[in-house]
Amino acid sequence: MRVELARTAGFCYGVRRAVQLAEEAAGQGRPCVMLGPIIHNRDEISRLEAMGVGLTASMEEIPEGSAVLIRSHGEGRAVHEALAARGCTVIDATCPNVSRIHGIVSQAEEEGRQVLIIGTPTHPEVAAIAGWCARPVVLEGAEALSNWLDEAPERREMPLTMVSQTTSTRFIWDSCVEKAKKECTNLKIFDTICNATCKRQSEAQALAARSDAVVVIGGRESSNTKRLAELCGALCPMVVWIERAAELEPSTLCRKASIGITAGASTPEWIIKEVYDKMSDENIEIEESFAEMLEKSIKTLHTGEKVTGVVTGITPTEIYVDLGTKHAGYIPVSELTDDPAVKVEDLVKVGDEIETYVMRVNDQEGVVTLSKKRLDTVKSWEDIEQAREERTTVEGVVTEENKGGVVVNIKGVRVFVPASQTGLPRDTPMSQLVKQKVRLRITEVNRARKRVVGSIRAVEAEERAAKAAEVWENIEEGKHYTGTVKSLTSYGAFVDIGGVDGMVHISELSWSRIKHPSEVVSVGDTVDVYVISFDKEKKKISLGMKDRTQNPWEIFTGKYNVGDVANVRIVKLMTFGAFAEIVPGVDGLIHISQIADHRIDKPGDVLSEGQMVDVKIIDIDYEHEKVSLSIRALLEEPAAEDEDVNEE
């Protein structure tokens, strides 16, 4: 006969933590009471009571100032507030996974969202989760969810947040998720099924499938044990569910070639051993000792190994991790990340699952020192090598300027980028890249020498080529683009419209007369431009910036008539007169004879470029869009008025 013990049989990390907290409280010698059984196992609760930890189901029976153990299933907000009001010291043994759900539903209600809890309404864990909401809805499965939505069709439009009881089956949860995704339009889903529960259930199913009989050990009130019995029953012809060894009738297992043993999360090792001893006493042949089976169920750790655990506590110096083994794991803060600016609480939270690297195992003290950043570095090297082979783009932050280039940090790996591959113009200080996030291509990897070389320029060139191809494929006259001014010349500005540079001639930059493009734009400016013309063969594009809908001549003629006075700006001096800007885009000529009321040799004797002067409009040529201006007419008018007064 072969007897096989499931690797995850017995206490899960949440239950183990709760029992340890109770044992520690009992050892302190002060009054301590459990508010309800901290785990679903009557025998273990009796053992704790014998150690001096009391048990009550009523808060009124708790003496004021007592230490109160909150069970692993948790309690609602009202219970915590009531205990605080009674001056009680709370020892919170709530499973970290359950505490995480409390935070999720509380946040959801603050955001005005309706909380949906998938689970058994009468289960203590579900009741506790509901206790952190004002108006929770508890549904047992997809059918209940469908009925709830059908009762009020407008619920499909409501902002919904859906969580699961940690011990629910994956089938129930997945069917609810599928239903909700199909019908609800404003949905947030949080998969809160405990990973340890999933692992326990999947292992139990595999064990049942290869066994002739399965013994399931656990309390009758334990939800997760009930699930194990149901799952095993679907795959194995005989399932025996017991709480203690006394309930086991070994004769029922006679002539079974293979027997599997699993246990619920609230079943202590001493009860599992009790069942083993009962089977041995009845002369059931077991291929290996209980100690060996138990050792297999508790993973042995080795330095350099990758392990996954759950964060159970955070202090300023270290993070405690439950690995599901006999060892206590912790990560020194210095081994969490290489980034000194990152806060620990931003990276990990109690209840998070975390993958780490075993640095050191101390079997005597039962402690394992872990490192996340070393595992991240190992993974990063693998990712870097894969990126080199597959020619994929990676992201990193430039950490320093080095001799001949810059150094980019990619998940803890230093990547050297030569100056010629930074993508910066010649003579541009490379220091301007420091602290910038960049995208690059890995060109060389030598893991033995810890040397990695990359190219920012290669990525930029490929992206620019792709964008340029798209521009040339879709370009047409009149099409508008948002571009960036790349350079200025005396005759215009070159603008990047997405991988392709086009030129805006100085005459197309503004309706006003300008001497240099820098009067309108600067390098780096974001501008709106449109295509005037293009030549795909010569790869040339002529762009415009002037707003064609604003016709300067129409603006001028709508505002001024012959005889009106205008304040104008002198824009150009010629030998025969001066040109003045009346409105942007419309200039008028002040003939040399109209500049002063006396003879002058040249316009510069009286006027200068940029000067503002008042003029009179003496003629408008609408056909040729020309305007004649006069300063002299304004100077002669006061004299004419004085003569009229004298004649009177």
Q: Tell me how far apart the alpha carbons of residues 638 and 457 are, in angstroms, rounded to a whole number.
A: 70
Cβ neighbours for 495, distance < 8 A, ≥ 6 positions apart:
483, 484, 485, 486, 501, 502, 503, 504, 527, 529, 543
Place of tokens 């006259």: 477
3-state secondary structure 521-551: CCCCCEEEEEEEEEECCCCEEEEECCCCCCC
Between CA 584 and CA 572 the distance in angstroms is: 14
Q: Residues 417, 440: contact at Cβ < 8 Å?
A: yes
CA distance from start to end of the chain = 141
- H helix or E strand, kind and range, residue 25: helix 13-27
Q: Within 10 A of 290 (CB to CB), how many other CB atoms are there?
A: 19
Whether residue 125 lies in the annotated active site: yes
From CA 33, how far away is CA 55, in angstroms rounded? 5
Residue 44: closest CA among 243, 214, 196: 243
The DSSP annotation for 162-226 comes to EEE-TT--HHHHHHHHHHHHHH-SEEEE-----HHHHHHHHHHHHHHHT-SEEEEES-TT-HHHH
Q: Identify which of 178, 236, 241, 184 has the alpha carbon closest to the alpha carbon of residue 207.
A: 236
Given a contact cutoff of 8 angstroms between Cβ atoms, the answer to whether 340 and 301 are in contact is no
Read off the tokens for 397. Answer: 């932050």
What would the two tokens of residue 233 be?
A: 């029953």
- Pairing, β 612-621 against β 565-573: antiparallel
Answer whether 309's CB lies under 8 Å from 353's CB: yes
Among 125, 203, 335, 581, the one annotated catalytic: 125
Active site residues: 125
